[in-house]
Chain A
């Protein structure tokens, strides 16, 4: 197959290309480098750390972990939400595989990035595009001997053989679900359909499973998508509610064995009339709540239907999903920290996975007090309504939904903690909370001579 790219504007400088193709890739959210632990080989460059490493943070506060670029922003599709749609008049460019490899290697050895994130607009047809991607990362792995993290997109509709070959070179693969429902996809992305998106997803899932069995037999078997697969959904472009979205995510985790589902607050870049206008900016709070709920699904043992239901299909704006769940289930609280099972500890607002583990380890040796909890990292500001230590509440609170919600949300109603974060005192007329330190010698002198 002839893989030489023919298009206008190939004579732009590397700097301009990088600008155009980074700009084109920036709405993709999956910039993590986690999931794989791989030591260096001694004669190549790179290793991988399971926790992932973020190398910088851009001015929107998102991490820069991978060199996130498109191979080309030329695209034959016309998805209404995408700035690279073929009917959009924007500068187009394409990298050569060598350019991508050099950039990745040079950035990597200077510790700017953790690896490469490669996606692409669809050139000619999906298989052709997938082959271009495959050739690029093949070059990077086998000629440039890059041993760091590689995340590539599987292009829906591409030849399964190509996806399989690519999977043996990449650490993570992802197929973008784009929109949570098939109807949404039909209306905004006329060239894509749900089936072609789910087919490669299923293929990668099966590939990973098969590979696991192979690895049991042969320890040195090549690894297929060792970091698992992920996907992303655009939030706020179509009228789905949070309950739908969370259910879709839960299904993806359970039925497709996904490592991560990413949510991307919709930014209207094309100005298409089929898209919502969003005068208040992208729905960032909604995205944030979905991520919080996503964590509850994956690490805290919650289920989607516990957090939301048909009657309350949207997340509470004021409370995070865990607080929201807790105030609606006060019959299960307060929880005795010294005896409660792990599953219940994880459900207390203010106690995270790490602090729950620390509590479980420490209470084997000694009984815990509120001061200990504070030092271990429990956020008492939130947890205090829901826990007891040695059968006692930290101070008298009412287990009443309105009271707790008011305290959790309202800055003025909130219980005043002393400077040590532990002691609680009643407000008096002459207190404003900031008068905590001892008066300085100078101040005492000023008071004595009547200057203060």
Chain B
């Protein structure tokens, strides 16, 4: 048994997949692990993330499985679960071995690993969808839009393209407070990520209009509700409480 010990990043996991092919491993006897739990009689290989190899794997996955399934794989890897690496590894190996057609990587949901990767991706996808809905920007004094969120999965890389396409002429920052990463988008330019230092908290001064627009929107949300139809349970089902901390209307 060979165990590739990776860290929790796309680069590292894709490098491990590359290595397993390079070294011609039998997938039944190979395992990708994110934790350091020892496995009996296993040979440990510490994976050094290698951007060049990771990119090769990314290109292959996208070419062979199509863009949609490639995104699903990435979403599965955005999850916080440790078992994601193994699930994705086996799914990818199965897909490449059976030469499945583009867009059919996740067809065989009876397979344990495929199902696992699929459901991890589904969870992440759902949360990313929620964040696209519930993220709230606040305008700072200098006109920059700032949004804070506390997601479970690593959603930032999926949110940035969406908002960059939507608000190309704005300077905006999305702050993932669980991982302390910032997604920064300068107006009309390419966005990038910035990892904050430990204990570093941005100092925020909001613009004057900001308070007014928040108050206007709060008023709008209160007024649009129909008293006769009140249904707080439905509201809670559709908008889980954990997002409300970051939303200005609650």
Contacts and interface: CB of A to CB of B under 8 A. Distances in A.
> Are the chains A and B members of one assembly?
yes
A43 B168 contact: yes
Interface in A316-372: 358, 361-362, 364-369, 372
Contact of B134 (A55, A62, A364): A55
A158 interface: no
A367 B247 CA distance: 46
Contact of A60 (B168, B215, B231, B247): B231
Contacts of A282: 228-229
A111 B174 CA distance: 12
B68 interface: no
B115 interface: yes
B223 A19 contact: yes
Interface in A37-51: 39-47
Nearest to B215: A15
Interface in A95-113: 103, 106-107, 109-112
B145 A58 contact: no
Contacts of B217: 107, 110, 112
A237 to B, nearest CB: 14
B109 A376 contact: yes
A336 to B, nearest CB: 16
Contact of A18 (B136, B145, B165, B220): B220
Contacts of A22: 219-220, 223-224
B142 to A, nearest CB: 15
B230 A59 contact: yes
Given A26-B223, A110-B139, A267-B229, A56 B107 contact: no
B216 A59 contact: no
B219 A107 contact: no
A265 B239 CA distance: 23
A109 B144 CA distance: 11
Nearest to B170: A109
B216 A45 contact: no
A139 to B, nearest CB: 18
Contacts, number: 155
Nearest to B110: A366
A68 interface: yes
Query: Which interface class (under 10, 10 to 19, 20 to 34, 35 or more) fits B?
Result: 35 or more
A56 B249 contact: yes
Interface string B131-165: 01111111100000101000000000000000101
A26 B226 contact: yes
A43 B169 contact: yes
Contacts of B231: 59-61
A110 to B, nearest CB: 5
Contact of B238 (A14, A57, A67, A281): A57
B168 A58 contact: no
A110 B138 contact: yes
B133 A61 contact: no
A171 B169 CA distance: 22
B225 interface: yes
B167 interface: yes
A57 B216 contact: no
A75 interface: no
6 contacts: A22-B224, A45-B166, A47-B165, A67-B220, A103-B216, A267-B229
Interface of A: 14-15, 18-19, 22-23, 25-27, 39-47, 53-64, 67-68, 103, 106-107, 109-112, 265, 267, 281-282, 284, 358, 361-362, 364-369, 372, 375-376
Interface of B: 104, 107-111, 115, 119, 132-139, 145, 147, 163, 165-170, 188, 209, 213, 215-217, 219-235, 237-239, 247, 249
User: Nearest 3 pairs between A and B by C-beta?
Assistant: A61-B234, A365-B108, A58-B225
